[in-house]
Amino acid sequence: MRVNVAIIGGGPSGLLLAQLLHQSGIDAIVLERKTREYVLSRIRAGVLERGIVDLMVKAGAADRLQAESFTHDGTVIAYKGESFAIPFSKYTAHPVTVYGQTELTRDLYDAREAVNGKTLFNVEDVVINNAKSSSPSIDCIVDGKQVHIDCDYIAGCDGFHGVSRQTIPPEARREYEKNYPFGWLGILSETKPVHEELIYANSDRGFALCSMRNERLSRYYLQCDTNDHIDNWSDAQFWDELKKRIPEKFADTLESGPSIEKSIAPLRSFVCEPMQWGRLFLCGDAAHIVPPTGAKGLNTAASDVHYLFTALKQWYAEKDHQLLDTYSQTALKRVWKVERFSWWMTTMLHRFPDQSDFDLQIQSAELDFLRESESAQASLATNYVGLPY
C-alpha cells in the first residue's frame, strides 16, 4: 500500500497528527502494536495546555473535551505545613484544562473511525527502510501477515522503546538523560477532589500531588523509592501517608476510598538530538521524556505534532520544505525549555536521598522566594499554562 505519511504509534500524539493531516487532505496511516482496548487501558496525566486543546479543535475531536473538561485558573504550592496559591489568570491570559489523557485518546480514536481513517492494530516487527532517501518505506507484520507500506514521510510516535529512534544510527544521535532517585506512587479513586485546584506539596516525608479528573474522580501521588512496589501499599497506608504530606487544612477534608487503579512510575529526563533523520521525524516520548512534575509529557508531544503537521502541510500545499528541514531545531528549542521547567519543579518539590542540610535550606529558600516574588510566580504560571508554539 502507499500513503503520504506513515505514523508509527497509536497513542495520542500519533492519532492527533493523523487527524490533523486528514483535515488537510493528507493521507496517513497509523500503526499500533497493541489493540485499541489496551491503549485505552493506560492511565496517564490529565492537565492540558491551551496548545493541545486548540489542536484537538482543529482536528475535529474536541466536542466531548469542551463539554466535560474542567478549567483551572491556578495551582497551590504547599510546604512547611502551609500553602499559597498562584493564580494563572493574574500572570497570563490562559488557564489549563483538566481532562484525562485516556479520554482524549478515546476521542481521537472515535474521530479517526468517523472518517474511516486507516489504522492497523497488532503491528509487530516494524522495520523502517531508506529513511534517508526520497522513498522511505515500512515493513511490518499485522495479524501474522507481512505488510509493506510505501510513503513520503514517516512520523515516529512510538515512545521511548519504539523502533523509530533506534533507526537513527547511534553515531548520528546524541542522547541526554537524567534518572531521578525516586518514583511516583499514584492512585485513582472515585472520591471528591480535596481542592478545586491541583496541590503540589513539598514535605519532609517527600513530595505529594493532589489532582483530579472530574468532580468525583481524584488522582493522588506520593514520592516513593524507585524499588518500591504497589503491593507494599494498602489503600489505608496510602491515605494515611498522603495526609501526613499535605497541610492539615487539606488533610482534614480529604475524602478517602478504595483505589480503582494503582501504579508506580519512575522519574527521568531524556532528550534525543536530532529529532529527524532524513524523512523520519520523531514526536513525543520517542524523542524526549520529562518528569511528570510539570505535567508536560503529553503537552510537549503535542507541540511536536504542531510543528510536524505545520511543516507537512506547507510541503503538500506549497512544495516548500523549509519547515521540514528545520523541524528538529524548532522542536528542540521548545523541548529544552520544557525540560528545564520540569527539572526545576522536580528539584524544588522533592526530597533527594543525598540532600545535605545546606541543600534543604536552599530548597526552602527557593519556595520562600516563589511565595514572595510576583516575578517568580509569573514565570511558573507562564511555563505551566504552556509556552507558545
What's the 3-state SS for the chain?
CEEEEEEECCCHHHHHHHHHHHHCCCCEEEECCCCHHHHHCCCCCCEECHHHHHHHHHCCCCHHHHHHCEEECEEEEEECCEEEEEEHHHHCCCCEEECCHHHHHHHHHHHHHHCCCEEECCEEEEEEECCCCCCCEEEEEECCEEEEEEEEEEEECCCCCCHHHHHCCHHHCEEEEEEEEEEEEEEEECCCCCCCCEEEECCCCCCEEEEEEECCEEEEEEEECCCCCHHHCCHHHHHHHHHHHCCHHHHCCCCCCCEEEEEEEEEEEEEEECCEECCEEECHHHCEECCHHHCCHHHHHHHHHHHHHHHHHHHHHHCCCHHHHCHHHHHHHHHHHHHHHHHHHHHHHCCCCCCCHHHHHHHHHHHHHHHHCHHHHHHHHHHHHCCCC
Q: What pLDDT shows up at residue 215?
A: 87
Q: What pLDDT shows up at residue 363?
A: 98
Q: Is 195 a catalytic residue?
A: no
Catalytic position from the list 296, 307, 316, 327: 296
Catalytic position from the list 95, 247, 291, 292: 292
Catalytic position from the list 22, 72, 288, 350: 72
Q: What pLDDT shows up at residue 214?
A: 84
Could you give all domains of the chain from N- to C-terminal order, each with its CATH number?
Answer: 2-72+95-177+268-346 (3.50.50.60), 181-266+351-385 (3.30.9.10)
The contacts of residue 116 (CB under 8 Å, 6+ apart) are none
Q: Is 321 a catalytic residue?
A: no
Catalytic position from the list 109, 153, 221, 384: 384
For the chain, which ranges sit under pLDDT 50?
A: none
Q: Is 296 a catalytic residue?
A: yes
Q: What pLDDT shows up at residue 27?
A: 98
Q: What pLDDT shows up at residue 18?
A: 98
Q: Is 243 a catalytic residue?
A: no
Strands 145-156 and 259-273: unpaired
Q: What pLDDT shows up at residue 44?
A: 72
Q: Is 316 a catalytic residue?
A: no
Catalytic position from the list 79, 91, 99, 200: 200
Q: What pLDDT shows up at residue 41?
A: 84
Q: What is the pTM of this model?
A: 0.96
